[in-house]
Amino acid sequence: MKKTNLKQSTTVTTVLILAVIILFTFSFEAVAKEDALTLLERGADLITQGKFSEAIDVLTLALNEDFPAGQQLDSNYAVIYANRGDAYYKLGLTAKALEDYNSALELDPSFPEVLLNRGVVKKKMGNNKGALEDYTRAIEFKSLFATAYFNKGELLMEMGRNKEALEQFSSYILLVADNPHVYNLRGELYLTEKRYTLALGDFNSALYIDPKSTEAIVNIGKVYIETKDFTGAERELNKAIAINPDLGEAYFLRYKARDALGNRAGAEADRKKAKMLNPNL
């Protein structure tokens, strides 16, 4: 009887152990299916907190896990690669960032934010042509993507393709009308083309948005110098210097205006001050 009881007891114990193992395995798998989403969210939070190395570790784990039922989509894994690419970029690891952005776009080729970010990385690596292509594709997939218009305009401006840059900045301004820097950039392009009225209009728009924008005030001074209104130029540059006494460019431009007005002593003082603040002037 004891042997039988022992045998029965052993059998029951074995069955119970197997049941616990099966239950544990099932529970572990259930948790694992949610892990990718949980890890993705945690990784995003870490990026927001500036903890980029930790975010990379968490997002790397997420790539090896499943999403909950119904969310097991390539586009979700593309988000993981995209976020990890952002973290790599923030750490200055541009090659790693590019690799992750490429992986994200393989999974979701129409991901405009990743196209934009890959364009930024390509530009940083000296691949202007590739960056321009990515910005253009980002706009194709998201026609109201203001940042893509800005980045594309800025790159075209650097490449000397001013007419195209003007178009991009104008598209940006239609979407975001309160960014003084973009008005300044477009105004500079108008100034390069000697379209002084349009340039002044943009610089004044920038100044309306930000009355203390020395960038806009200095640019207005440039217009006056080019149109030989040296008194107007000196007046505007005085304003810029009053706001920021360490603005080398303002002193240099005022030196030109004062020299043209015959104020030799004032011009020489401004020239020296400009060189002291910025030896490249």
Express each pLDDT in 11-64 by its tens digit. Answer: 333 333 223 323 333 333 443 444 788 889 998 999 999 999 999 999 999 898
Q: Identify the H or E element spanning 33.
A: helix 2-48
What residue numbers bound the domain in which 61 lies?
18-109
Give residue 124's pLDDT.
Answer: 97
Residue that terminates a domain, selected from 136, 159, 176: 176
> For residue 227, what is the domain's CATH number?
1.25.40.10
**From residue 182, how far is each of 115, 143, 214, 249 by CA, in Å?**
22, 19, 14, 19
Q: In this structure, are residues 64 and 35 in contact, taking their beta carbons and an 8 Å threshold?
A: no
Average pLDDT, integer, range 200-208: 98
Residue 42 sits in the same domain as residue 129: no
Give residue 17's pLDDT.
Answer: 29
Instruction: Note the pLDDT tens digit of each residue in 88-128.
Output: 999 999 999 999 999 999 999 999 999 999 999 999 999 99
Of 92, 135, 133, the closest CA to residue 113 belongs to 135
Residue 197 sits in the same domain as residue 272: yes
> Considering the domain boundaries, does residue 103 fall inside one?
yes
Assign 75 a pLDDT band (cuts: 50, 70, 90). confident
Residue that terminates a domain, selected from 128, 159, 176: 176
- Quote the distance between the C-alpha of residue 192 and its chain's center: 27
Give residue 19's pLDDT.
Answer: 31
In the chain, what percentage of residues exceed pLDDT 90?
79
Residue 60 sits in the same domain as residue 101: yes
pTM of the predicted structure, to 2 decimals = 0.82
Residue that terminates a domain, selected from 81, 109, 137: 109
> Considering the domain boundaries, does residue 2 fall inside one?
no
Least confident of 32-36, 109-113, 202-206, 218-222: 32-36
Average pLDDT, integer, range 154-162: 97
Q: In this structure, are residues 81 and 101 in contact, taking their beta carbons and an 8 Å threshold?
A: yes
How many structural domains compose the chain?
A: 3
Give residue 46's pLDDT.
Answer: 93
Token pair belonging to 266: 């004032």
Give residue 67's pLDDT.
Answer: 78
Average pLDDT, integer, range 142-171: 98
Average pLDDT, integer, range 192-197: 97
Token pair belonging to 27: 């529970």
What ranges in 64-161 are assigned the alpha helix state H?
Answer: 74-90, 94-107, 112-124, 128-141, 146-158
Distance CA 148, CA 137 (A): 9
Residue 27 sits in the same domain as residue 95: yes
Tell me the pLDDT of the chain averaged across its residues.
88
Q: In this structure, are residues 254 and 241 in contact, taking their beta carbons and an 8 Å threshold?
A: yes
Assign 238 a pLDDT band (cuts: 50, 70, 90). very high
Distance CA 41, CA 25 (A): 25
Of 61, 99, 57, 64, the closest CA to residue 82 belongs to 99
Distance CA 47, CA 93 (A): 15
